Amino acid sequence: MEEKEEQLRKARQFCSEVRLLAQKYNLPFFVVTEGASATNNDGCEAVKRARNHHIEWEKEQNLNLDEDWLET
């Protein structure tokens, strides 16, 4: 596997593990790393602001805001 593909796989795995940990503790979260991000929020203003800033960055980078790597 190419190094870039391996790093992407690791980033997505990391985000998946954070998602599980947040579910375990019933906490809202937003995490971003090179190649992947994940969020689950139910009203936490800090999480909302962090995700909104990341959305603006994604737009500036011309990234697909609708990509859902969990579906791949």
Q: What is the pLDDT along the chain (72 residues), one digit of tens a residue?
A: 699 999 999 999 999 999 999 999 999 999 999 989 999 999 999 999 999 999 999 999 998 877 766 665
CA distance 57 to 60: 5
CA distance 44 to 55: 17
Q: Which pLDDT value is given to residue 66?
A: 77
Q: Which pLDDT value is given to residue 71?
A: 64
Q: Are 55 and 44 in contact (CB under 8 A)?
A: no
